[in-house]
């Protein structure tokens, strides 16, 4: 493997280019017309324009991505996250063209990318999950019977769902019909598959996930947990590692569940197994078969470069460390900086007049920003990730607050003020977290 095409844009494309450069690999960036001056195209060794701005005509267009790989002579493709990263079809096409897809096999993506199939796999690996269906909903009658059995509230989820979309909470039997129809039609339009299932809805859980790393030599390791309960509309905005809520016994339990699932799936790459945690019990939610946005917090506390490891695994190399070699030191937090209004959360793309990147001890910034860059309206609104590291959670929070104060982005609105408000909140500081945190926080702010 000599040359890697990065089938992505923004900060994750840059993150992958950096890993490739350290490994002595050549890089090819692809971009849409509007992304011509994007930082990833400047940092890669070569760049190819692959089409119009809508993702379907560029970053999601398999023939165009494959043509770019062919004309540049790339021998591997890194999909990053989002876009084609969880497309089993894309992984299959790469295989057919003799290119290495830096990720798991098409079959693993297919099974684990379908939440219903993943639930079946979890059952076969003896991993606890929430009461619910293990087949897609057939009709309203069946959904009603099963919701009665489980007990309201329930949540309807798209089998092929992702990114926090396609989920509907149903509190009473009267709401079921309407919510089911909406969920199914949203699932069809967002994911091309109308299949939905339902499970018990937990009122106040934490989101805890485990980083998995597995090679082609039967080594399946975990790299600890991440606490990702700070979410808005089921989308994470602050993540941290470790979770100070879990004692060593609970950490071992959840890590063992994740390793068992990866073993059951014969998984070989980076992956994340997600759980809900409430009343001292874990419930399997899903497995993501790609690198996660929040991977840097795990890198900070373990000192392991996840992208470099992912590339080495794809080359067929065995992991260079064993489970007992993995150590966890200090505490790391990530804030997702989005180009959005800090109060209404409406996206605010546009030209960045001035950008000052924070630095100093314990601060890492993964971003595509530079002064004069125009954030296009066509893609995700995340423009930077601030990652802090400290000996303790308290020091990590202090450093993040200092970095948020130091960061200057003029010309477009962003949510750094919102992050400051959360990090200064006593509930956040006291680790009083749940997936309901933001909802409660905003209603508390509105009252005061």
Encode burial over 305-344: b for 16+ CB neighbours within 10 A, e otherwise: bbbbbbbbbbeeeebeeeeeebeeebbbbbbbbbbbebee
Q: Where are the beta strands (DSSP E) in 339-390?
A: 350-351, 354-356, 363-367, 374-375, 382-390
Pattern 115-144, ligand ADP, x by CB under 6 A:
---------------x--------------
CB closer to ligand ADP, 41 vs 211: 211
Among the listed residues 9, 290, 336, 399, the single catalytic one is: 290
CA–CA–CA angle 18, 44, 36 (5° rounding): 130
Q: According to CB under 6 A, which one of 207, 295, 393, 419 is a site residue for ligand ADP?
A: 207
CA distance 183 to 169: 10
Q: According to CB under 6 A, which one of 234, 263, 308, 420 is a site residue for ligand ADP?
A: 234
Determine if 113 is a binding residue for ligand ADP (CB under 6 A): no
CB closer to ligand ADP, 205 vs 390: 205
Give the tokens for residue 230: 């700070």
Determine if 155 is a binding residue for ligand ADP (CB under 6 A): yes
Determine if 299 is a binding residue for ligand ADP (CB under 6 A): no
Q: Which stretch binds ligand ADP (CB under 6 A): 24-32, 67-75, 154-162, 329-337?
A: 154-162
306-314 and 295-302 helices cross at what angle (nearest 10)? 100
Q: According to CB under 6 A, which one of 435, 437, 438, 441 is a site residue for ligand ADP?
A: 435
Cβ 166 to ligand ADP shortest distance, Å: 7
CB closer to ligand ADP, 6 vs 187: 187
Determine if 201 is a binding residue for ligand ADP (CB under 6 A): yes
Token pair 């509230």: residue: 153
Q: Which stretch binds ligand ADP (CB under 6 A): 55-63, 161-169, 240-248, 307-315?
A: 161-169
Q: According to CB under 6 A, which one of 63, 164, 361, 377 is a site residue for ligand ADP?
A: 164
262-291 residues in contact with ligand ADP (CB under 6 A) are: 274, 276, 285-286
Is 268 annotated in the active site? Answer: no
Determine if 231 is a binding residue for ligand ADP (CB under 6 A): yes
CB closer to ligand ADP, 79 vs 205: 205
Exposure of 328 in the CB half-sphere (CA atoms within 13 A): 19
What is the distance, to the nearest Å, from the Cα of residue 231 to the centroid of all Cα atoms in its chain?
12
Cβ 85 to ligand ADP shortest distance, Å: 13
The answer to whether residues 228 and 242 touch, using CB atoms and an 8 Å cutoff, is no
The answer to whether residues 385 and 443 touch, using CB atoms and an 8 Å cutoff, is no
Determine if 382 is a binding residue for ligand ADP (CB under 6 A): no
Determine if 51 is a binding residue for ligand ADP (CB under 6 A): no
CB closer to ligand ADP, 165 vs 216: 165
Q: Which stretch binds ligand ADP (CB under 6 A): 94-102, 160-168, 299-307, 416-424?
A: 160-168
- Which residue number has the CB closest to ligand ADP? 435
Q: Which stretch binds ligand ADP (CB under 6 A): 40-48, 196-204, 219-227, 293-301?
A: 196-204
Terminal CA-CA length for the chain: 58
Sheet with 220-232, strands from edge to edge, namely 281-288, 270-278, 206-214, 220-232, 235-241, 331-338, 382-390, 363-367
Q: Please give the DSSP secondary-structure letter assigned to residue 217.
A: T
CA–CA–CA angle 268, 274, 275 (5° rounding): 140
Sheet with 167-170, strands from edge to edge, namely 167-170, 154-158, 196-200
Determine if 163 is a binding residue for ligand ADP (CB under 6 A): yes
CA distance 40 to 369: 10
Cβ 205 to ligand ADP shortest distance, Å: 5
CA distance 246 to 73: 48
Determine if 318 is a binding residue for ligand ADP (CB under 6 A): no
Contacts of 448 (CB under 8 A, 6+ apart): none
Phi/psi at 175 (5° precision):
-85, -15
Residues near ligand ADP, by CB under 6 A: 130, 155, 161-165, 199-202, 205, 207, 231, 234, 274, 276, 285-286, 435
Residues annotated as part of the active site: 290
């Amino acid at each position: 493997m000599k040359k890697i095409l990065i089938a992505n844009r923004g900060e994750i494309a840059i993150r992958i280019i950096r890993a490739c450069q350290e490994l002595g690999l050549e890089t090819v960036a692809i971009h849409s017309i509007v992304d011509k001056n994007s930082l990833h195209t400047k940092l890669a060794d070569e760049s190819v324009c692959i089409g119009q701005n809508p993702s379907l005509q560029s970053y999601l267009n398999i023939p165009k991505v494959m043509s770019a790989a062919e004309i540049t002579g790339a021998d591997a493709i890194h999909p990053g996250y989002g876009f084609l990263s969880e497309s089993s079809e894309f992984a299959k096409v790469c295989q057919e063209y003799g290119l290495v897809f830096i990720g798991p096999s098409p079959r693993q993506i297919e099974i684990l990318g379908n939440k219903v199939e993943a639930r079946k796999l979890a059952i076969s690996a003896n991993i606890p999950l929430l009461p619910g269906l293990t087949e897609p909903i057939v009709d309203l009658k069946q959904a009603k019977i099963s919701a009665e059995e489980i007990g309201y509230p329930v949540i309807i989820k798209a089998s092929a769902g992702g990114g926090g979309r396609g989920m509907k909470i149903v509190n009473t039997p009267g709401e079921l019909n309407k919510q089911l129809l909406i969920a199914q039609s949203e699932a069809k339009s967002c994911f091309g598959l109308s299949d939905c299932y339902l499970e018990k809805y937990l009122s106040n859980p934490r989101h805890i996930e485990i980083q998995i790393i597995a090679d082609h030599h039967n080594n399946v390791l975990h790299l600890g947990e991440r606490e990702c309960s700070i979410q808005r509309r089921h989308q994470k905005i602050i993540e941290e590692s470790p979770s100070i809520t879990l004692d060593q016994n609970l950490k071992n339990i959840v890590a063992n569940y994740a390793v068992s699932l990866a073993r059951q799936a014969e998984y070989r790459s980076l992956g994340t197994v997600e759980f809900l945690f409430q009343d001292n019990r874990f419930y399997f939610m899903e497995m993501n078969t790609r690198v996660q946005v929040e991977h840097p917090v795990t890198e900070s506390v373990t000192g392991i470069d996840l992208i470099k490891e992912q590339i080495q695994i794809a080359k067929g190399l065995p992991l260079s460390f064993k489970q007992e070699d993995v150590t966890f030191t200090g505490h790391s937090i990530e804030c997702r900086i989005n180009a959005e209004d800090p109060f209404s959360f409406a996206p605010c793309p546009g030209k960045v007049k001035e950008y000052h990147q924070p630095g100093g001890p314990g601060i890492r910034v993964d971003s595509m920003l530079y002064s004069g860059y125009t954030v296009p309206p066509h893609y995700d609104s995340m423009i930077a990730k601030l990652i802090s590291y400290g000996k303790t959670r308290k020091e990590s929070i202090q450093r993040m607050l200092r970095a948020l104060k130091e960061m200057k982005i003029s010309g477009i609105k962003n949510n750094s003020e919102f992050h400051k408000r959360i990090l200064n909140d006593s509930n956040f500081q006291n680790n009083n977290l749940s997936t309901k945190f933001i909802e409660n926080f905003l209603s508390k702010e509105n009252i005061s």
